[in-house]
Structure 1
Amino acid sequence: MVIFLIVSFLLFVTWTVINSFFMPSLPVNPSLSKQPLVSILVPLRNEEGNVEGLINSLKQLTYPNLEVFLLDDHSTDQTYDLLVEHTKELTHFHVIEGAPLPPTWVGKVFGCHQLSQLASGDYLLFIDADARLEKATIEATLSLARQQDAALVTGFPRFPTKSFLGNLLVPMQHFVVYFHLPLMMANYTKKSAFTAAHGAFMFFEKNSYRRINGHFSVKSSLVEDVEITKLIKKENMQAVLANVTEYVSCYMYDISKDVWHGFTKNIFPGLGRSYPLAISVVIFYAIFYVFPIFLSVYGVLSMQWLFVLPLILSVLQRLWIDRKAQQRLPLFLYMPFSAISLIIILIASMLKNLSKKGYQWKGRNYS
Structure 2
Amino acid sequence: MAVFLIVISVLLLCQFIFTIWNMKQLPVLKPVPFSPGEPISLSILIPARNEENRIEACLQSIVDQRLYPKELIVLDDHSTDQTRALVERFAETYPWIRVQSGQPLKRGWLGKSYACSQLAEAADSDWLLFLDADVRLKKGAVESVYKQLCMQKTGMLSGFPEQKTGTFFEHLVVPMMMFTIGCHLPVKWVRKSKNPAFAAAHGGFMAIEKNCYHDIGGHEAIKDSLVDDMALARRVKEKGFPFTLASIHPFVYMRMYESGQEVWEGFRKNLFPGVNRSIALLSSVFCLYTLLYLVPVICFMIALFQLDVLSICLAILCYGLGVSIKAAIDTENGRTSAMAFLLPVSILSLIAIGFASMKIGLKKEGYEWKGRRYE
User: TM-score surpassing 0.5?
Assistant: yes
Matching residue's letter, 2:21: I
SS at match of 2:144: helix
- How far apart are 1:201 and its partner, in Å? 0.4
- How far apart are 1:81 and its partner, in Å? 2.2
Q: Which residue of 2 aligns with 1:110?
A: 114
Contact 2:328 2:337 in 1 (8 A): no
Q: Which moved more, 1:127-136 or 1:143-152?
A: 143-152
For residues 85-104 of structure 1, what are the structure 2 equivalents within 5 Å?
85-104=89-108
Contact 2:90 2:97 in 1 (8 A): no
Identity %: 36
Taking a change above 3 Å as real, the CA distance of residues 260 and 65 of structure 1, as seen in their structure-2 partners, is closer
Does the alignment pair 1:174 with 2:182? no
Distance 2:201 2:261 in 1: 24
Matching residue's letter, 1:16: T
Does the alignment pair 1:348 with 2:352? no
Question: Alpha carbon RMSD of aligned pairs, Å?
Answer: 1.6
Contact 1:141 1:153 in 2 (8 A): no
Q: Which structure 1 residue ranges, 5 or more long, are not aligned?
A: none
Residue deviations 1:269-311 (CA, integer Å, cap 9, x gap): 0000001111112211111112222233445663532221100
Residue deviations 1:111-151 (CA, integer Å, cap 9, x gap): 10111111001111000000001122121122223334441
- Aligned partner of 1:322 among 324, 330, 334: 330
Q: Which moved more, 1:299-308 or 1:126-135?
A: 299-308
Distance 1:35 1:175 in 2: 38
Distance 1:299 1:66 in 2: 63
Q: Which moved more, 1:313-322 or 1:157-166?
A: 157-166
SS at match of 1:268: helix
Distance 2:18 2:347 in 1: 19
Does the alignment pair 1:7 with 2:15? no
Contact 1:150 1:240 in 2 (8 A): no
Residue deviations 1:305-362 (CA, integer Å, cap 9, x gap): 2221100100000111011111132222221111111100000000001221111011
Matching residue's letter, 1:136: G
- Aligned partner of 1:296 among 300, 320, 328: 300
- Aligned partner of 2:211 among 203, 207, 212: 207
Does the alignment pair 1:285 with 2:285? no
- How far apart are 1:183 and its partner, in Å? 0.9
- How far apart are 1:67 and its partner, in Å? 0.6
Q: Which moved more, 1:131-140 or 1:153-162?
A: 131-140
Q: Which residue of 2 aligns with 1:265?
A: 269
Q: Which residue of 2 aligns with 1:77?
A: 81
Q: Which structure 2 residue ranges, 5 or more long, are not aligned?
A: none
Taking a change above 3 Å as real, the CA distance of residues 87 and 153 of structure 1, as seen in their structure-2 partners, is same
Q: Which residue of 1 aligns with 2:340?
A: 332
- Aligned partner of 2:255 among 246, 251, 254: 251
- How far apart are 1:267 and its partner, in Å? 0.6
Does the alignment pair 1:26 with 2:29? yes
Does the alignment pair 1:141 with 2:159? no
Matching residue's letter, 1:128: D
Matching residue's letter, 1:346: G
Taking a change above 3 Å as real, the CA distance of residues 287 and 30 of structure 1, as seen in their structure-2 partners, is farther
Taking a change above 3 Å as real, the CA distance of residues 34 and 238 of structure 1, as seen in their structure-2 partners, is farther
- Aligned partner of 1:306 among 309, 314, 320: 314
Matching residue's letter, 2:84: Y
Q: Which residue of 2 aligns with 1:162?
A: 166
Contact 1:27 1:143 in 2 (8 A): no
- How far apart are 1:65 and its partner, in Å? 4.3
Contact 2:43 2:72 in 1 (8 A): yes
Q: Which moved more, 1:325-334 or 1:243-252?
A: 325-334
Matching residue's letter, 2:288: F
Matching residue's letter, 1:321: I
Does the alignment pair 1:38 with 2:42? yes
Does the alignment pair 1:363 with 2:371? yes
Q: Which moved more, 1:323-332 or 1:295-304?
A: 295-304
Distance 1:150 1:188 in 2: 15
Contact 2:44 2:69 in 1 (8 A): no
Matching residue's letter, 2:15: F
